[in-house]
A and B are shown apart, each in its own frame.
Chain A
Amino acid sequence: MTNLNAVDPAAVAQDAHLESADVVIGKSTIIFRRFMRNKTAVAGLVIFVALTVFSFVGGFFTTWDKETIDPFNIGMPPSAEHFLGTSQAGIDLYAMTVEGTRISILIGLIVGLVSVLIAAVYGCTMAYFGGKVDKVMLFILEALIMMPALLVVAVATSGGGAGLKRDLPSWLLLIIVLLVFSWMGTARLIRSLSMSLMQRDFVKAAQYMGVPPRRIVWRHLVPNIGSLLVLDITRGVTGAILAEVAFSFIGIGIKVPDVSLGVLIGGATSQVQTFPWMFWVPLTVMFLLTGSLAMMNDGLRDAFDPSSSSTGKARKARKIRAEMSK
């Protein structure tokens, strides 16, 4: 802040009025306001929430479920009885889409959240201790990055993990495998960010007070990379959903009878011409899901970034007045 005043007049002004108590706006309020100002992001949030709600309560609007076969309607286009038609096996597509969306969102959220958490703790620990600890942990990280994730997923979900597969549903297995391979990039980013935080005086101050290292990592480092973590969670969720779709598409992810958007899309590709609804419906849902997250991501970055160019509402009022007076 101190030597910004020459370059950034807005910051000077900001500073000047921050000092007066009555205008202090809570940081969360500012973030919320900024997020709400980005219409795209709000639309994304609405779509994402709507999809999540749909995936949980959508099942109540139909009498069919993802396993029951309707022998009278096999491979039928959308009709009054089956909102979105049926598959070539006679299973209701609507029921499957609801189930698939839920599994996809579940995988996305769990993998997104947990992988960022692992990355944060791992990255901060590396940065804090440095030296030998850093070297060993970095080696493990690099080794994991170099491991061919695709093969491991294939082995775990197909032949190799027979024992595992018996005990765990295939979506849970996929979550675990995705988790193992999704946190390294973020961890490396967090390591470098924390290393620069380590140079900050407040970390030194804590060290000189004799605060134990574990507490410094947890209380000083993790919260200060919070905005990055939030962004990385949305990115991670999108990544996990796409990975699930991709793995299921090539047949090594979720296995029937479990359904997911990827399974549905993968199963329908060969019959796009004959059963187009089987392909387009889950594809649209997947697009809405990842698209809404991408839309939110942009707004979140704007809201959390302190150097954001997002200005106050006052400006708009002024502009309108200026235009009117022209």
Chain B
Amino acid sequence: MSSETTTGSGTTASVNSTADAVERLHIAGLHAPTDAVLSVRDLNVRFNSENGVVHAVRGVDFDLLPGKTLGIVGESGSGKSVTSLAIMGLLPETAEVTGSVRLKGRELLGLSDKAMCEYRGNELAMVFQDPLSSLTPVYTVGTQIIEALTIHNPTMSKQAKEARAVELLAMVGIPSPKDRLKAFPHEFSGGMRQRVMIAIAIANNPRVLIADEPTTALDVTIQAQVLEVLHTAQEETGAAVVMITHDLGVVAGMADDIMVMYAGKPVETGAVDDIYYNPRMPYTLGLLGAVPRVDVSEKSSLVPIDGIPPNLLHTPTGCSFAPRCPLATEACLEGEPALAPVPGVALHHAACIKSEALGGDVDVHDIFSAPPVPESRFDAIPRENRSTVLELKDVRKHFPLTKGALLKKRIGTVKAVDGLSFDVREGECFSIVGESGSGKTTTLLEIMEFHKDQDGEVVIGGISNKQAADTKTKNAMRRELQMVFQDPTGALDPRFTVYEVLAEPLQNAGLDRQAIRKRIMELMKLVGLQPDHVNRFPNQFSGGQRQRIGIARALAVNPKLVVLDEPVSALDVSVQAGVINLLDKLRAELGLSYLLVAHDLSVVRHISNRVAVMYLGKIVEIGEVDRVFDNPRHPYTRALLSAIPVPDPHVERTRERIILKGDLPSPLDAPKGCNFATRCPVFAALPAAKQEKCLTLEPPLEAVAPSSAAQALEPAAPSPDQRFACFFPDGELDEDMLVSHDQAEHHAP
């Protein structure tokens, strides 16, 4: 690396020598004399580990112009976060950072921690991923905002600071900001806390705002709100934003430029439209093909990017993506390709020797040889004729809410699940979607619990919970039903080898040693893992492989129904595609049924046949997936669907979004009539007389009434498979809750 020679001995070098080196770079013309507010040149970061030096970031260059947004996209471990931390000077002492980071022409690398404090929170600000842990729980949010103001404006008066804090809270959309100033972080929900974090970050009008996966930990509806807030914050302060994310949908509507990182190196950079519509690097192509689309019903397999990112302990000799690239040839292994300009397109760079042959017209499914769409033997049989594997009849789960230490007084009931009925037929995938707190997971737990004292009836494979008293029936039920967990790491005992993990359910089923071994080898092949890896421990596998082990364990006893609790939400997009394809294939080959809980509607659309939308413990809309997604009737479904970011910059910029106000209401003040009335965009626009109906009556779950015209045409036509619970499905939407991204255009070039 050239940095070795220019900056001498790395982090240990004094400020002077780094400054010298930068001057030399400057003279050499590497620092373009632009008006960039932040310019990064040849940034390298190395860490020391048990196995040697890990070269986590290898030569990142970018210029950020004022008011612009740069999206940094890549898998986990690609060096996105490390880059941002290096810019902020927040890496641990043990990291070795070389290169140059200039904020408005002033060099930041090599500054002492104390000197960096001048910049951090002032001209450079950061929003972190996890809003739950980035606020101090023992101080009020007001104190924390004022603290940020005090540090950089020691002369500001107390009143002025308080006024500014109120102004900031109002700017990020927190209702009654003056009272909320005295609230503690635990009194806020996750989305609200992220808003407070943004308020703190923009308190001193930063020039550069770095957002590191700011919405990954949040629900889709809240994600839409927070992205909107970030957008406003950027407009108010005119700051340049670095948006780090693994979700191509999130940045599509926001970013002006995109930098795709792989193995610590930028592999493609360019304007957002060039990257999305005209990618020139196979990795970018793969990433785009791996994302399921919520707005397209076409059934095609997703593009999995096989393999794992390279080991950054060794300097790659060839293209770092070559081992996973379907287009790789001998030439790719000779030297790592540099980021070269794409001919004909200004400011579009790609690090691929084949970039000229690629482009918008190349079909990614061909390149990455996506598997064909699997066909299940049940697909041909109409739904009514298939047997039922799971049936829920009016299942309820209410938790009493008590107050008082000695004498517990019942002050209310949390209706986590409130009268749920649905069934899952053989060979189909049924999904439950909704925000967190809507009762999805409680529903799963109720099914998994399966005992007599439950309120409501659960029938699994013909066995009802009302008659399941003895262990024998229960064991029979367990063989019908297995579960795959959200977090693949947490679901596998870290001290078990894969063999032991897979053997556990089989031993429990009473198989002998020979049979167990045979079955495990079968399972490993079935989920696409190498059979000779059975003696490894889970921590020696990547996240996607761990999830495959979890799936293999669930399939061990040949269940009919597999319950999937957010099976891919903890995985990277490229890996996620592989796991979704696997689930699809298994469903077809083994005739499995899935009960899937997910918050990612694009994944749901891709793999399910039927879907139920839950809100506060009730199903508000249920039906065939394409019908519900293409023609949503309930306002909540409409809001959910409009909140999903789509990896398509044009769609993102032009479409209208429904931004729901606030969070899920607390179960205590659950409305009497329609649950959703407090946040409903239709309700807000209704005349008072009709609002009365929403507030007093609870809408029943009813089938879509065929329009009179359709009835006249075919009187005998069966009603379509879609039911919803709303009195005014065709009502006008409230203007206030609609946000169009057209306004984003005015700061674009």
A residues engaging B (CB < 8 A)? 1-3, 5-7, 9-10, 12-21, 23-25, 27, 30, 33, 200-202, 204-206, 208-211, 219-220, 223-224, 226, 311-312, 314-315, 318-319, 322-323, 325-326
For residue B171, CB closer than 8 A to chain A, the reply is no
Residues of A within 8 A of B54 (CB): 13-14, 16-17
**A322 CA to B10 CA in the complex, in Å?**
8
Identify 18 residue pairs between A and B in the complex whose beta-carbon atoms are under 8 Å apart, listed by A's number: A2-B570, A3-B129, A5-B76, A5-B81, A6-B213, A9-B85, A10-B94, A12-B77, A13-B82, A14-B49, A19-B541, A202-B490, A205-B483, A209-B557, A223-B493, A224-B493, A315-B94, A318-B96
* Given A12-B76, A12-B82, A323-B12: A202 touches B508 (CB 8 Å cut-off): no
* Given A205-B485, A209-B482: A200 touches B490 (CB 8 Å cut-off): yes
Q: Is the CB of B76 within 8 A of A318?
A: no
Q: Is the CB of A322 within 8 A of B12?
A: yes
**Interface residues in B1-50 (C-beta closer than 8 Å to A):** 8-10, 12, 45, 47-50
Residues of A within 8 A of B309 (CB): 16, 19
Number of interface residues of B (CB under 8 A): 67
For residue B419, CB closer than 8 A to chain A, the reply is no
Contact pick for B47, options A10, A27, A33, A208, CB 8 Å:
A10
**A21 CA to B49 CA in the complex, in Å?**
16
* Given A202-B493, A205-B491: A13 touches B478 (CB 8 Å cut-off): no
Q: Is the CB of B81 within 8 A of A9?
A: yes
**A23 CA to B76 CA in the complex, in Å?**
19
B residues engaging A (CB < 8 A)? 8-10, 12, 45, 47-54, 56, 76-77, 81-82, 85, 91-92, 94-96, 128-130, 212-213, 216-217, 308-313, 448, 474-475, 478, 482-483, 485-487, 489-495, 504-505, 508, 536-537, 539-543, 550, 553, 557, 570
* Given A2-B487, A3-B129, A202-B493: A10 touches B49 (CB 8 Å cut-off): yes
Q: Which 10 A-B pairs give the minimum distances between C-beta atoms? A: A315-B48, A201-B491, A16-B77, A13-B54, A20-B311, A6-B129, A201-B485, A201-B490, A210-B478, A9-B82
**A224 CA to B312 CA in the complex, in Å?**
30
**A211 CA to B129 CA in the complex, in Å?**
37
For the complex formed, measure the closest distance between the CB of A32 and the CB atoms of chain B, giving whole angstroms.
12
**A19 CA to B312 CA in the complex, in Å?**
11
* Given A2-B570, A6-B130, A202-B490: A17 touches B508 (CB 8 Å cut-off): no
Q: Is the CB of A6 within 8 A of B212?
A: yes
A-B contact count (CB 8 A): 156
For the complex formed, measure the closest distance between the CB of B573 and the CB atoms of chain A, giving whole angstroms.
14
Secondary structure dominating the interface of A: helix
**A193 CA to B428 CA in the complex, in Å?**
40
Secondary structure dominating the interface of B: loop
**A16 CA to B81 CA in the complex, in Å?**
14
Residues of B within 8 A of A223 (CB): 493, 495
Residues of A within 8 A of B504 (CB): 206, 209, 211
Q: Is the CB of B493 within 8 A of A220?
A: yes
**A319 CA to B53 CA in the complex, in Å?**
12
For the complex formed, measure the closest distance between the CB of A252 and the CB atoms of chain B, giving whole angstroms.
42
**A319 CA to B12 CA in the complex, in Å?**
9
**A24 CA to B490 CA in the complex, in Å?**
20
Q: Is the CB of A209 within 8 A of B508?
A: yes
For the complex formed, measure the closest distance between the CB of A247 and the CB atoms of chain B, giving whole angstroms.
38
For the complex formed, measure the closest distance between the CB of A325 and the CB atoms of chain B, giving whole angstroms.
5
Contact pick for A211, options B94, B212, B508, B550, CB 8 Å:
B508
**A253 CA to B8 CA in the complex, in Å?**
66
Residues of A within 8 A of B8 (CB): 325
**A288 CA to B580 CA in the complex, in Å?**
60
Q: Is the CB of B81 within 8 A of A312?
A: no
Contact pick for A314, options B52, B448, B482, CB 8 Å:
B52
